[in-house]
């Protein structure tokens, strides 16, 4: 195993805005991005969080019409992250660069569109680009092609923990010496009729169609589900000595990480938080840190009654000697599914860089499970943050925790 892994670049394309600064501003302002969605009219839930003003033809790629929306969001975020890290595809040895993309659903929008075309016009109406747009590995394949990445190119899928799992996988590739740089990503564009109908049927979505801005309410007493969203997040990882040789000052260090499984239920988290607890303590052990050193937690915080109850209970029972601040970006951005882990990892790094905790939008009153944790609400809170955790949980019982240090 080789040296410390640092974050030298970040990129975001989210419902809060295009770019890390735009998203950070939206989240710190506590502004919800949820809006009525014309494409979901007639479904049980017709609100969503989409990326405002995203124009695919502005993404610097050769043939944007070939790509699923999730790949275009990812490419836009990747270009920002590379520029932030002082990189370009012409400046690196592509054989020493790895790419890991986390996604829950791949190009599901392409698949749904082409299925409708099959039903309406028969097989001759189906695009020959259907599978290259849909297959879960193709986002990694397309991005590697666009950026000239010729090292390991992988896709991870652990539902809503996918982006965070991608960060871990990228760090392991660096630690094993398989690459010198790693582009760790999460992306999903699951605001589609089929996905919206399916999540609504499960009872996972908020039903506040008449008040979308107040629909996503992580940890709040009146939460009733999440708001479906789209987005992408990218982190450039490299070993500390490699960044030093490039004379790039890291944003933060990825000091520890861990992933565990609940083995409890297909969709519900373990209410005792056993798996999440093990992920937190294992990640801190890898970081050679203790619970008392954790200053801040960027929570998974979906706004569903079951998730928030399990996560809040775990935080309360783990942190008995001090109380780290807690926030969830999903009150502002909605739930970006497989992208969430990478997006929230970027926001956790931003909290360390800016020594600020964004508020949890729409958190106005705790319940019996959330009243003993320090959920930041109302406005952004300045705070000294030397060590912060990012939690990600996914259907299937996946728990992923990333530990970042200053």
Cα–Cα distance measured from residue 287 to residue 370, given in angstroms and rounded to the nearest whole number: 27
Count of CB atoms situated within 10 Å of the CB of 25:
14
Cα–Cα distance measured from residue 238 to residue 250, given in angstroms and rounded to the nearest whole number: 9
Cα–Cα distance measured from residue 103 to residue 185, given in angstroms and rounded to the nearest whole number: 9
Active site residue 160: yes
- The sign of the torsion formed by the CA atoms of 242, 244, 248, 252 equals positive
**Which of the residues 28, 49, 160, 195 is marked catalytic?**
160
**Which of the residues 242, 335, 369, 391 is marked catalytic?**
335
Cα–Cα distance measured from residue 350 to residue 385, given in angstroms and rounded to the nearest whole number: 11
Active site residue 195: no
Residues 6+ apart with CB under 8 A from 244: none
**Phi, psi (deg, nearest 5) at residue 400:** -130, 135
Active site residue 335: yes
Residue 200 CA, distance from chain mean position = 21
Cβ atoms of 402 and 390 closer than 8 Å:
yes
**Which of the residues 79, 142, 242, 300 is marked catalytic?**
300
Residue 327 CA, distance from chain mean position = 14
The three-state secondary structure class of 314 is helix
Active site positions, annotated? 160, 300, 335
């Amino acid at each position: 195993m080789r040296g410390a892994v640092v974050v030298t670049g970040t990129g975001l394309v989210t419902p809060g805005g295009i770019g890390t600064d735009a998203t950070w501003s939206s989240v710190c302002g506590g502004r919800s991005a949820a809006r009525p969605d014309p494409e979901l009219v007639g479904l049980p839930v017709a609100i969503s969080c989409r990326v405002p003003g995203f124009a695919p033809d502005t993404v610097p790629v050769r043939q944007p019409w070939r790509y699923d929306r999730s790949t275009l969001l990812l490419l836009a975020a990747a270009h920002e992250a590379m520029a932030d890290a002082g990189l370009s595809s012409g400046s690196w040895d592509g054989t020493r660069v790895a790419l890991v993309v986390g996604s829950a659903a791949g190009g599901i929008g392409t698949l749904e569109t082409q299925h409708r075309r099959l039903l309406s016009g028969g097989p001759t109406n189906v695009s020959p680009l259907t599978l290259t747009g849909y297959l879960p590995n193709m986002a990694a394949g397309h991005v590697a092609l666009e950026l000239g990445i010729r090292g390991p190119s992988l896709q991870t899928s652990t539902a809503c923990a996918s982006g965070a799992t991608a960060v871990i996988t990228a760090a392991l590739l660096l630690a094993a010496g398989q690459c010198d740089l790693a582009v760790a990503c999460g992306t999903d564009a699951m605001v589609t009729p089929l996905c919206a109908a399916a999540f609504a049927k499960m009872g996972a979505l908020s039903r506040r169609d008449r008040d979308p801005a107040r629909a996503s309410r992580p940890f709040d007493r009146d939460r009733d589900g999440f708001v479906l969203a789209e987005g992408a997040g990218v982190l450039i990882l490299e070993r500390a000595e490699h960044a030093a040789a490039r004379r790039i000052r890291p944003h933060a260090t990825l000091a520890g990480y861990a992933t565990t499984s609940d083995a409890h239920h297909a969709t519900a988290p373990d209410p005792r938080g056993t798996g999440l607890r093990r992920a937190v303590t294992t990640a801190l052990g890898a970081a050679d840190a203790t619970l008392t050193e954790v200053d801040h937690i960027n929570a998974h915080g979906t706004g569903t009654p079951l998730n928030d109850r399990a996560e809040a209970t775990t935080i309360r029972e783990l942190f008995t000697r001090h109380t780290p601040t807690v926030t969830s970006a999903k009150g502002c951005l909605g739930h970006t599914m497989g992208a969430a882990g990478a997006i929230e990892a970027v926001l956790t790094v931003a909290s360390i860089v800016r020594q600020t905790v964004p508020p949890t939008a729409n958190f106005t009153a705790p319940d019996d499970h959330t009243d003993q944790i320090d959920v930041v609400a109302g406005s952004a809170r300045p705070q000294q943050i030397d060590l912060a955790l990012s939690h990600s949980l996914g259907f299937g019982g996946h728990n992923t925790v990333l530990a970042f240090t200053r």
